[in-house]
Amino acid sequence: MKKINFLFGIHNHQPVGNFEHILEEAYQRAYRPFFDVFENHRVKMTVHFSGWLLEWLARNHPEYIEKLRSFVHERRLEIATGGYYEPIIPVIPEKDRIEQIVRLSRLIEELFDTEPTGMWLAERVWEPSVTKSLAEAGVKYAVVDDNHFRWAGLFDDELNGYYVTEEDGRTLNVFPISKRLRYLIPFEPPEATLNHLLLHASVEGGNAQVMFDDGEKFGVWPQTYSHVYEKGWLEDFFQAIENTEWVKTLTFKEYLEKYPPKGRVYLPISSYLEMTEWALPSKARKEFEELLEELNKSGEFERLSMFLKGGMWRSFLAKYTESNNMHKKMLRVSRLLSRVEDPPEEAKKRYLMAQANDAYWHGVFGGLYLPHLRDAVYTNLVKAESLLNLSPSVEVEDLDCDGFEEVLISSKKFNLYFDPHYGGRLFELDVKKPSMNLLNNLTRRYEPYHDKLQEALTEEELRAAGKAKTIHDVVLTREKGLENLIAYDWYERYALIDHFFGEWTTLEGFSKCRYPEQGDFVNQPYQYSVDAKRLLVKLWRAGHVWVGSEWIPISVEKEIFPENERIRVIYTITNLWNKPIDVWFGIENNVNLLAPESQGRYYIADGRNLGSLKNFGSITGKQFGVVDEYRKVCFIFESEREMEHWYFPIYTVSYSEGGFEKVYQGSSLTSHLRLHLSPKKPVEISFKIALEFVWC
Tell me which residues are annotated as active site: 123, 214
Q: Which is nearer to a copy of itself, 271 or 415 (CB)?
A: 271
Does the footprint of a copy of itself cover residue 434 (CB under 8 A)? no
| Contact of 437 with 494, CB cutoff 8 Å | no
Q: Which is nearer to a copy of itself, 328 or 432 (CB)?
A: 328
The Cα 551–Cα 533 span in angstroms is 38
Q: Which of 308, 530, 545, 643 binds a copy of itself (CB under 8 A)?
A: 308
**Helix axis angle, 345-353 relative to 94-112, nearest 10°?**
100
Q: Which of positions 137-156 make contact with a copy of itself (CB under 8 A)?
A: 151-155
Q: Which is nearer to a copy of itself, 152 or 570 (CB)?
A: 152
Q: Which of 60, 195, 231, 263 binds a copy of itself (CB under 8 A)?
A: 263
SS (H, E, C) 45-65: EEEEECHHHHHHHHHHCHHHH
Q: Which is nearer to a copy of itself, 544 or 601 (CB)?
A: 544
Does the footprint of a copy of itself cover residue 480 (CB under 8 A)? no
Q: Which of 314, 348, 372, 445 binds a copy of itself (CB under 8 A)?
A: 314
Main-chain dihedrals φ then ψ at residue 383, nearest 5 degrees: -65, -50
Q: Which of 66, 346, 398, 642 binds a copy of itself (CB under 8 A)?
A: 398
Does the footprint of a copy of itself cover residue 257 (CB under 8 A)? no
The Cα 140–Cα 18 span in angstroms is 31
SS (H, E, C) 451-485: HHHHHCECHHHHHHHCCCCCCCCCCEECCCCHHHH
Minimum separation from the CB atom of position 304 to a copy of itself (A): 7
| Contact of 142 with 210, CB cutoff 8 Å | no
| Contact of 476 with 455, CB cutoff 8 Å | no
Q: Which is nearer to a copy of itself, 171 or 523 (CB)?
A: 171
The Cα 424–Cα 173 span in angstroms is 50
Does the footprint of a copy of itself cover residue 306 (CB under 8 A)? yes
Q: Which of positions 497-536 make contact with a copy of itself (CB under 8 A)?
A: none
Does the footprint of a copy of itself cover residue 69 (CB under 8 A)? no
The Cα 64–Cα 67 span in angstroms is 5
Minimum separation from the CB atom of position 178 to a copy of itself (A): 19
Does the footprint of a copy of itself cover residue 324 (CB under 8 A)? yes
Question: Where does residue 295 rank: exposed (0-12), middle (13-18), buried (19+ CB within 10 A)?
Answer: middle
CA separation (Å) from 160 to 164, 199, 521? 13, 11, 59
Q: Which is nearer to a copy of itself, 169 or 481 (CB)?
A: 169
Look up residue 386 and give its amino acid: S
Does the footprint of a copy of itself cover residue 166 (CB under 8 A)? yes
Q: Which of positions 276-305 make contact with a copy of itself (CB under 8 A)?
A: 280-281, 283-285, 287-288, 291, 303-304
Does the footprint of a copy of itself cover residue 309 (CB under 8 A)? yes
Draw the binding track, 213-252, toward a copy of itself (x: CB under 8 A; -: no contact).
----------------------------------------
Compute the C-alpha angle 16/122/135, nearest 5°. Answer: 120
- Torsion angle defined by CA atoms of residues 38, 42, 43 and 48, in that order, rounded to the nearest 10 degrees: 40
Q: Which of 110, 168, 455, 460 binds a copy of itself (CB under 8 A)?
A: 168
**Which range in 233-241, 324-332, 360-368, 526-534 contacts a copy of itself by CB under 8 A?**
324-332
The Cα 31–Cα 219 span in angstroms is 8
Nearest to 613 by CA among 590, 583, 587: 590
Residues at the site binding a copy of itself, with contacts judged by CB under 8 A: 90, 93-94, 127-129, 151-155, 164, 166, 168-169, 171, 173, 260-261, 263-266, 268-269, 280-281, 283-285, 287-288, 291, 303-304, 306-312, 314-315, 317-318, 324, 328, 331-332, 334-335, 398, 401-404
